[in-house]
Amino acid sequence: MESELLIEDLECVYKKTSALTDTPLHYCPGCGHSIVHKLLMEVVEEMGIQDQVIGVAPVGCSVFAYHYMDIDMQEAAHGRASAVATGVKRVRPDKYVFSYQGDGDLAAIGTAETIHTVNRGENIMMIFINNAIYGMTGGQMAPTTLSGQVTSTSPYGRDTKQVGFPIKITEMLALLPGAYYVTRQAINNVAACRKLKKALRLGFENQKLNKGTSFIEVVSNCPSGWKMTPVEAMTWIEGNMFPVFPVGDIKVSK
Amino acid sequence: MEEINKTEARLMKGNEALAEAAIRAGMDAYFGYPITPQSEILEYFEAEIPKRKGLVLQAESEVASINMIYGAAGAGARVMTSSSSPGISLMQEGLSYIASAQLPCLVVNVVRGGPGLGTIQPSQGDYFQAVKGGGHGDYHLIVLAPSSVQEMADFVFDGFRLAEKYRCPAMILTDGALGQMMEKVVLPEEGSLPHTIPAWATNGKPANKERNFITSLFIQPEKMEMINIGLQEKYKQMQCEVRYEEFHTEDAEVLLVAFGLSARVCQKTVELAREKGIKVGLLRPITLYPYPTDRIKELASKVDFMLCVEMNAGQMVEDVRLAVNGEKPVFFKGRMGGMIMSPEDVLEEIESIIEKQSISA
């Protein structure tokens, strides 16, 4: 009784964004998806565009994103989120459309759709969560898995002579004239999250101005797949992911 | 079928008549990729749509096309894609998702000879793929089989209408000959097939409404089974849409069963046979799914035998045999790999069957 009174007296300075549903997240403790979902929906709420956004979820850990984001969404086949988003945007050009994909989805099975969506300069925001592993299927090697990184399908470490190198698809996409804004952000600390949130907002703002594709890579984590605690995973991002996937804007068009 | 106002006669290729009909049917968007023998469809849209209304986009692959279709259909647009056999194979994953997510769309398969890269000549070798689902899981497409350039145009309207009525992908299963040949066609009138954005579409969630989401993922088996039961219920309801055409079946002793281009060949065979005093009739299924099983079963009691004629190794004949259920003999005559049988070939087959039967009798 006393504690309830106490809460009533407090001024609310922070709360969950209304653009997220109350469905409990299925993500593992410490997973970057939860952070990116929250930041993305905060931007939607702050811009007042909840009724004008259509999202496209991928196959992978974020396959259930439509359970958490309180907006109209479509769930795409593996790798095809940007093609689905193209279909939505082409028939609803006045709406804000984003695709949300992981590294296996966007940079392996969906590489062709990724490249051609950006090359057409589709006026959408593509969000690319890079955690260097296939999380949903249990920690297999991804196209962005680091050289020597141990996964369930590279148990002796990624052998680049056999299976190639971690693909820097974001840098590749920046070469395309259709790419208007290309950036790589991260979720490893509060400052990084703030920068990421700004980038996500810019992605929607560019869309309103009909500028072409905004491509936002997020260097994220997978504590379960990496077999680390959440804190260890954040530290591992800094020590191992950043040297290969450096954070910062890659292309900012004028 | 609803009567559509028809006003204008033209001499057109099947592929072009189909494309023109799609514009007149109020198609919002077309996504496609070039492949012979159907590239005229994409070319026609690229030339016409900028001058008229709608949207056309040449995708980077058939895989991309069908997923663009998924997105645009999910957003509530009237959408269409087309391809030919190898390209349709690439679309099968997407079609399974579209069927499960219950999105309406129209897919045109201008079939060429296979398997593999095959040939660019006409074939009916994709019958199984079209009517038995084609991709993974238990689902069906609504399948319409035109046999003239006129029907290439008309069935676009029927395809959109049925797809939207049942929230189910519809396919026009035609072939390279019908796509390429020129015939007189009376084009349906523009604006006769109204369309509004459905309530289930992902079109931006209004503040006072639940969000919409389009998905084919139902991870709990109990839920997935319910979705499957719902789909099967829908397929049962569709059975009332069965369409077929009969030619001289009243007194027929021999029944030919053929669809599409083969049915045109068989129509001539019926005439040739009757000139020789052999009472041959023809049943042409127009909807390949749902299939005119009941009518074939009825006719089985009236004829001596049936001969199924197809441009493949014998695919629809299996459905004819299921319908006849052993009551009468069902024979098969086919050509493969892009070859078309002649009316005389079919007549010769009928005469040879009659001869063998009279010997054994």
State residue B207's pLDDT score: 85
- How many CA atoms does the CB half-sphere of B336 hold within 13 Å? 10
Q: For the complex shown, is ipTM > 0.90?
A: yes
Q: Which residue, among A84, A105, A118, would best test binding to B if mutated, counting the most B CBs under 10 Å from its CB?
A: A84
Measured distance CA(B268)–CA(B247) in Å, rounded:
11
Taking chain B (361 residues) in consecutive chunks of 10 residues, what is each chunk's mean pLDDT? 64 98 97 98 98 97 98 98 98 98 98 97 98 97 98 98 98 98 94 94 93 96 97 98 98 98 98 98 98 98 98 98 98 97 98 91 67
Q: How confident is the model at residue A12 (pLDDT cuts 50, 70, 90)?
A: confident
More confident position, B8 or A7: B8
CB B38 within 8 A of CB B110: yes
Domain A26-252: which CATH number of 3.30.390.30, 3.20.20.150, 3.30.300.30, 3.40.50.970: 3.40.50.970
Q: Tell me which residue in B68, B207, B212 faces A86 most closely, judged by beta carbons.
A: B68
State residue A6's pLDDT score: 63
Cβ–Cβ contact B215 with A under 8 A: yes
Flag if A84 and B68 touch (Cβ within 8 Å): yes
Cβ–Cβ contact B92 with A under 8 A: no
Cβ–Cβ contact A105 with B under 8 A: no
Look at residue B153 and give its three-state secondary structure: helix
Mean pLDDT of A115-131: 98
Measured distance CA(A101)–CA(A128) in Å, rounded:
5
CB A213 within 8 A of CB A163: no
Measured distance CA(B170)–CA(B143) in Å, rounded:
6
* Chain B residue numbers touching A54 (CB-CB < 8 A): 75, 202-204
State residue B5's pLDDT score: 55
Q: Decide if pLDDT at A96 tops 60.
A: yes
Q: Tell me which residue in A51, A84, A115 faces B204 most closely, judged by beta carbons.
A: A51
Share of residues in chain A with pLDDT > 70 (%): 97
Measured distance CA(B292)–CA(B287) in Å, rounded:
8
Q: Decide if pLDDT at A2 tops 60.
A: no
State residue B1's pLDDT score: 45
Cβ–Cβ contact B199 with A under 8 A: no
Measured distance CA(A97)–CA(A93) in Å, rounded:
9
By residue count, chain B amounts to 361
Q: Which residue, among A53, A88, A105, would best test binding to B if mutated, counting the most B CBs under 10 Å from its CB?
A: A88
Mean pLDDT of A201-226: 98
State residue A9's pLDDT score: 76
State residue B208's pLDDT score: 86
- Break chain A into its structural domains and give their ranges: 26-252
Is the preceding peptide bond at B37 cis, omega within 30 degrees of 0?
Answer: yes
Both tokens of B86, joined, read 């190898």
Flag if A53 and B59 touch (Cβ within 8 Å): no
Closest CA to A60 of A146, A162, A142, A167: A142
State residue B242's pLDDT score: 98
Q: Which CATH code is given to the segment(s) B6-240?
A: 3.40.50.970
Measured distance CA(B250)–CA(B247) in Å, rounded:
8
- Break chain B into its structural domains and give their ranges: 6-240, 244-360
Model confidence, pTM: 0.96
Q: Which residue, among A44, A54, A66, would best test binding to B if mutated, counting the most B CBs under 10 Å from its CB?
A: A54
- How many CA atoms does the CB half-sphere of A11 hold within 13 Å? 1
Matching fold, domains B6-240 and B244-360: yes
Q: Which residue of A has its CA nearest to B212?
A: A72
Look at residue B254 and give its three-state secondary structure: strand
What class is the B244-360 domain? alpha beta
Closest CA to B4 of B161, B197, B171: B161
State residue B219's pLDDT score: 93
Measured distance CA(A106)–CA(A167) in Å, rounded:
11
